[in-house]
């Protein structure tokens, strides 16, 4: 039977838009949207995903107020109408494609109410296709993504506390990705997992331009993805050469406290991107990135109508231990080419990484 998307001339293969062209169980299509105050004290992330081959749609919204992280997660059965991005009390509305997207969470009984709109500050751009294989050569990630920086308006209400994003001048970034990545239940017991990863994903909004960096390296420092671009308001994209990152970590950890990344314009002018992390949004603490985040992760079947709130004190030693082993999306202030901007510094360093001086999984900064 056809589905509503089939009414549009968007088909990429000789079958209904209900189905991907691959039968891989780990097919997904989802987004993440970030928002932050200029001082970094308030930060929000939300995302909605569909997992066609396991029949799941889920969504979450996480807010950090200082060192308190509140997450609301919902999951349900995926229906046929993909034009309706809605599950439980949460929905995403595409007000104008690639220009304006609204997220609403109407859950006053859970103490969480959100109505935020991301207004594209600069044109959305494609990221490099991202393919990762494990040690045995099995594809564990094959995804395509676009990204856009934004300014964010609206309000967030947590337990009666109203935060006015418009008045605070929030910045934001969002991406949408689709393809194949681990979905739902984890790998079978006893199956080897990835030994490590070094990764940076950095969307930043400045007054006159946006920056987007995607850097991935293996344990030897071999660069598998090297994307560093400046986006102008008219859509022009300037490549900024080979990024040279130097990340300063808090002693005894791999928690970044500063990042400086050398970049170069065509013609040879050297520039430096200076990033100051302002506060953490750990992706595997409340947001569902990971094999078991308080009993839930993306694409896991939780029943037709599931809703859960979890709260975390980021200074709790048990929570801090979890944060140490997850990818973190840091609210960030950045300086580049004479301007100050805001956005996300997503970083993960796990396992051996020779350029950072990490010899193995247990190595930390001196």
What is the model's pLDDT at position 190? 57
Q: Is the dihedral of CA 117, 122, 128, 133 positive or negative?
A: negative
Q: What is the pTM of this model?
A: 0.96
Output the tens digit of pLDDT for each of the chain's 366 residues: 898 989 999 898 999 988 888 899 999 999 999 999 999 999 999 999 999 999 999 999 999 999 999 999 999 999 989 899 999 999 999 999 999 999 999 999 999 999 999 999 999 999 999 998 887 788 889 999 999 999 999 999 999 999 999 999 999 999 999 999 988 876 665 555 556 899 999 999 999 999 999 999 999 999 999 999 999 999 999 999 999 999 999 999 999 999 999 999 999 999 999 999 999 999 999 999 988 889 999 999 999 999 999 999 999 999 999 999 999 999 999 999 999 999 999 999 999 999 999 999 999 999
Q: Report residue 269 as tokens.
A: 């002018």
Q: Do 73 and 308 contact (CB within 8 A), yes or no?
A: yes
Q: Report residue 233 as tokens.
A: 């308001």
Q: Report residue 125 as tokens.
A: 């751009």
What is the model's pLDDT at position 188? 60
Number of H helices, E strands in the chain: 2, 23
Q: Do 323 and 280 contact (CB within 8 A), yes or no?
A: yes
φ, ψ for residue 284 (rounded to 5)?
-100, 15
What is the model's pLDDT at position 291? 83
Q: Do 238 and 265 contact (CB within 8 A), yes or no?
A: yes
Could you give the domains of the chain?
25-356 (2.40.370.10)
Beta-bridge partners for 107: 112
């Amino acid at each position: 039977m056809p589905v509503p998307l089939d009414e549009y001339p968007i088909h990429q293969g000789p079958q209904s838009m209900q189905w991907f062209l691959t039968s891989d169980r780990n097919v997904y299509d989802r987004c993440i949207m970030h928002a932050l105050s200029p001082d970094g004290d308030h930060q929000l992330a939300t995302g909605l995903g569909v997992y066609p081959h396991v029949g799941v749609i889920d969504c979450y919204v996480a807010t950090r107020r200082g060192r308190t992280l509140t997450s609301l997660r919902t999951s349900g059965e995926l229906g046929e109408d993909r034009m309706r991005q809605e599950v439980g009390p949460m929905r995403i509305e595409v007000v104008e494609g690639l220009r304006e997207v609204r997220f609403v969470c109407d859950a006053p009984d859970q103490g969480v109410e959100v109505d935020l709109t991301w207004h594209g500050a600069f044109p959305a751009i494609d990221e490099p296709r991202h393919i990762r294989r494990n040690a045995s050569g099995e594809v564990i990630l094959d995804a395509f993504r676009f990204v856009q920086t934004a300014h964010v308006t609206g309000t967030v209400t947590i337990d009666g506390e109203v935060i006015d994003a418009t008045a605070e001048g929030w910045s934001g970034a969002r991406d949408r990705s689709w393809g194949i990545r681990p979905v739902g239940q984890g790998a079978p017991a006893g199956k080897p997992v990835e030994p490590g990863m070094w990764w940076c994903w950095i969307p930043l909004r400045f007054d006159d331009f946006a920056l987007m960096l995607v850097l991935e390296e293996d344990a030897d420092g071999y660069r598998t993805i090297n994307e560093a671009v400046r986006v102008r308001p008219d859509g022009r994209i300037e490549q900024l050469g080979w990024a040279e990152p130097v990340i300063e970590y808090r002693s005894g950890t791999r928690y970044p406290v500063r990042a400086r990344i050398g970049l170069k314009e065509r013609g040879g002018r050297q520039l430096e991107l200076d990033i100051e992390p302002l506060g953490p949004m750990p992706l595997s603490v409340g947001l569902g990135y990971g094999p078991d985040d308080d009993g839930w992760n993306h694409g896991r079947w939780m029943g037709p109508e599931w809703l859960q709130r979890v709260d975390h004190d980021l200074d709790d030693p048990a929570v801090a231990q979890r944060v140490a082993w997850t990818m973190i999306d840091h609210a960030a202030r950045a300086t580049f080419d004479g301007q100050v901007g805001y956005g996300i510094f997503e970083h993960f360093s796990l396992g051996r990484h020779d350029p950072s001086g990490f010899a193995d999984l247990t190595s930390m900064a001196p």
